[in-house]
Chains A and B, each alone.
Chain A
Amino acid sequence: MLRDITIGQFFPGNSIIHRLDPRFKIVITLLFIIMLFWGSSAVCLGIGAVYTFMAIALSRIPLKMFWKSVKPLLPFLMITAVINLLLVSSGEVLWRWKFIKITDEGLNISAFMIVRIVLLIMGSSILTYTTSPITLTDAIERLLSPLKKLHFPVHELAMMMSIALRFIPTLIEETDKIISAQKARGAEIDSGSLGKRARNLISILVPLFISSFRRADELATAMECRCYHGGEGRTRLRQLKSAPRDYIALFITILFLAAVIAASKLL
C-alpha cells in the first residue's frame, strides 16, 4: 500500500529531455508555468497544450504515467470547477434553477481552469520524471547560489533536500516493516474501530521516530568521518555543463511564451 506513493518519482532514461541540463530544465519549467497563466483565451491554452504534449513525446515516458500524477488531484479539480461554475455570475445566463444560475463565463472559467491545471501538473511532472532528485537539488543549489551573498544557507538547504529525498524510500520500507511486526503482535491497523486504530498508530510512530533519529545520528557521524564541513570550498563529482541543446530548448520555450503573449495581445 505504501509502495504506491509516487511523489517525485524518477524514471531513468536517455531521451533528449533526460539529457538536458537540470538548471535549464528548472528555468524552462518556470517559463512554462508563466506561459500557461499568461493568456486566458483558447488559443493561448492551445499553444500551452501543444508545448506540453511535445515535451511529453520527447521525454519518451508513457502518457499513462502522467495520467497517474493527475488522477489523485481530480476530485479537488472537480470541486473547484463546480464552485467556479456556481459563483461566477457575470455573462449570459445559460441555466437557472431557484438561486443557482450558470453563465457562459462561469463555464468558460471552469473549463479553462481544469485544462490549465492538468497541463500544469503534467508539464511539471516531466521535470521530476526525467531528473533524478540528486541532480535536481544540485541544480537548485546552483540556481540559488547568488543568494549566498546575502548569507542565505543555500548549500545547507540543498543538502537537507537531497537527504530528505534520499530517505523517503528508506522510511517507507521501514514503516512497512514496523507495520508488519506490530500486526504480527495482533495490532489492528487496517481493520478494527477508529479508536483502536489510532491507538495502534502509536505503536508504529514511536519506533519510526526512534529509527529516524538513529539514522540521522549515524548519517551525521558518517558525514563527519568523511570530513564534511558544509558547502565552502567543496568541489563536486558531477559538474553541471550546459550544451547547445540546452540553449535550443530554452529558445524554443521562449518562442512559445512569446507566441502566447502575442496571441493574448492580438486576440
Chain B
Amino acid sequence: MAILETQELTYTYSIGSPFEKTAVDHVDLAINEGEMIGVMGHTGSGKSTLIQHFNGLLKPTSGRVLLDGRDIWADKKKIRDVRFQVGLVFQYPEYQIFEETVFRDIAFGPKNMGLDEAEIKRRVLETSNDIGLPEELMERSPFELSGGQKRRVAIAGVMAMEPKVLILDEPTAGLDPAGRDLILQHIKAYHKRTKNTILIVSHSMEDIASFADRILVMNKGRLFCFDETEKVFARAEEISQIGLDVPQITKVFMELKRRGINFGKEVYTVGYAKELLLKSLKERRKS
C-alpha cells in the first residue's frame, strides 16, 4: 500500500496579489513503503514546494495529502505528529543547528516528541552511528565541527525522530566529492537497516542513478514523470529538453547506440556499464 499519496495537490503562492504563482499544479502521486526515490527538477519547478506538503509545513490550496491513507489535514491539531512521521531535512540544514552540544542538537526533535531520556539517548546514539558521527563528538559544540560533520549532525537531528518517511532536500549541496559520497553512503546504509521510505532531492544525475528505485521529475509545477530509474533515463531527450541532464555514462551509451553499437539496455551507472562492456568483450573473444 502507498505510504504517501497526493491527490490533485495544488498550491498557489500569494493568492490575490500581483505575485500570485501556482507552484504545484494538480499533482497525483503515490509512494510505496520502503522505496528510495530520487526527486529531480529545475530550479523553480515546484519540487521544494511539493516536499513541504508531505510533512504539512504547507497546506494545499486544493487537493489532499494522504499519509497511510489518511488525510494529514483531517485534524489540524495532529499536524505535529505528521512532522514526526515524515522527517524533512532542508537544504543546507547545518544552518538550523543551535544547541550547545552535538548530542543536544540531535536530541531536539526526539525531545519535542516527548520521549523519555533513555529512549532519546538510544535514538541519538543509533542515528549518529548510522550517519557516521563518532561518539566522542557528542559532547563537543556543533559549531566547532567541519562543514560535512555539521551537515551530518543536522541530518541525524531529523533521522533521530525515526520518521517513516525521510525527505532530504539536496543533502550533498556544497560539499566536496568525498563528503558527498560519505553522506550518500550513510543514507544508503540507513535505508538498508531501517527499510524506511526515503526521498532525496538532487541535481546530480549520477547520485540519483546510484540509489533511486524510482525517479520523480517535476517541471513547471507539474509532475513530468514518475517512473523506474531505467525508464526515466530512457527518456533522456525529453529530460534534457526541460533543462535537466542525464548521467554522463548514459550519454556515452546513447552516442554508442547512435553509432550502431546497441546493448539493448539503458545504462545509467558506471558499475553497470563496466559489467556490460566486459561481458560483451568476453563474448567477442569467444566468437
Chains A and B come from one and the same complex: yes
Question: Is A184 an interface residue when CB atoms closer than 8 A count as contact?
Answer: yes
Q: Are B98 and A186 in contact (CB under 8 A)?
A: no
On whether A186 and B143 interact (CB within 8 A), knowing A181-B90, A203-B108, A207-B97, the answer reads: no
Chain A residues within 8 Å of B83, by CB = 183-186
Q: How far is the CA of A116 from the CA of B90 in the complex (A)?
A: 49
On whether A184 and B98 interact (CB within 8 A), knowing A177-B90, A203-B108, A210-B143, the answer reads: no
On whether A184 and B55 interact (CB within 8 A), knowing A203-B108, A207-B98, A211-B95, the answer reads: yes
- Name the contact of B95 in the complex, choosing from A178, A183, A184, A185 (C-beta under 8 A): A178
On whether A184 and B108 interact (CB within 8 A), knowing A178-B96, A203-B98, A207-B97, the answer reads: no
Query: Which parts of A184-214 form the interface with B (CB within 8 Å)?
Result: 184-188, 191, 202-203, 206-207, 210-211
A145 to chain B, nearest CB (A): 38
> Closest B-chain residue to A181, C-beta based?
B96
Question: Is B80 an interface residue when CB atoms closer than 8 A count as contact?
Answer: yes
Q: Are B90 and A186 in contact (CB under 8 A)?
A: no
Q: Are B158 and A185 in contact (CB under 8 A)?
A: yes
On whether A186 and B84 interact (CB within 8 A), knowing A177-B90, A203-B108, the answer reads: yes
Q: Interface size (A, Cβ < 8 Å)? A: 19
Q: Interface size (B, Cβ < 8 Å)? A: 24
Question: Is B112 an interface residue when CB atoms closer than 8 A count as contact?
Answer: yes
Q: How far is the CA of A188 from the CA of B81 in the complex (A)?
A: 12
Query: Which parts of B5-37 form the interface with A (CB within 8 Å)?
Result: 14
Q: Are B57 and A187 in contact (CB under 8 A)?
A: no
- Name the contact of A185 in the complex, choosing from B14, B109, B143 (C-beta under 8 A): B109
Q: Are A184 and B112 in contact (CB under 8 A)?
A: no
Q: How far is the CA of A180 from the CA of B93 in the complex (A)?
A: 11
Question: Is B113 an interface residue when CB atoms closer than 8 A count as contact?
Answer: yes
Q: Are B52 and A180 in contact (CB under 8 A)?
A: yes
Q: How far is the CA of A182 from the CA of B90 in the complex (A)?
A: 10
Q: How far is the CA of A203 from the CA of B96 in the complex (A)?
A: 8
Q: Are B55 and A186 in contact (CB under 8 A)?
A: no
Q: Are B80 and A184 in contact (CB under 8 A)?
A: no
- Name the contact of A186 in the complex, choosing from B93, B95, B109 (C-beta under 8 A): B109
Query: Which parts of B54-107 form the interface with A (CB within 8 Å)?
Result: 55, 57, 80, 83-84, 87-90, 93, 95-98
Query: Which parts of A1-26 form the interface with B (CB within 8 Å)?
Result: 3
Q: How far is the CA of A182 from the CA of B93 in the complex (A)?
A: 10
B73 to chain A, nearest CB (A): 15
> Closest A-chain residue to B160, C-beta based?
A185
Chain B residues within 8 Å of A183, by CB = 57, 83
> Closest B-chain residue to A203, C-beta based?
B98
Q: How far is the CA of A187 from the CA of B107 in the complex (A)?
A: 12
Interchain residue pairs with CB less than 8 A apart (28): A3-B14, A177-B90, A178-B96, A180-B90, A181-B96, A182-B96, A183-B57, A183-B83, A184-B57, A184-B83, A184-B158, A185-B108, A185-B112, A185-B157, A185-B158, A185-B161, A186-B80, A186-B83, A186-B84, A186-B109, A186-B161, A187-B112, A203-B96, A203-B108, A207-B96, A207-B97, A207-B98, A210-B95
Residues of A within 8 A of B (CB): 3, 177-178, 180-188, 191, 202-203, 206-207, 210-211
Query: What 9 pairs across the A-B complex have the smallest Cβ distances?
Result: A186-B112, A206-B98, A181-B96, A185-B109, A184-B88, A181-B90, A203-B98, A207-B98, A180-B57
Residues of B within 8 A of A (CB): 14, 52, 55, 57, 80, 83-84, 87-90, 93, 95-98, 108-109, 112-113, 143, 157-158, 161
Having A184-B83, A186-B80, A203-B98, one finds 14 other A-B pairs with CB under 8 Å, namely A3-B14, A177-B90, A180-B90, A181-B96, A183-B83, A184-B55, A184-B90, A185-B96, A185-B109, A185-B157, A186-B113, A202-B98, A206-B98, A207-B96
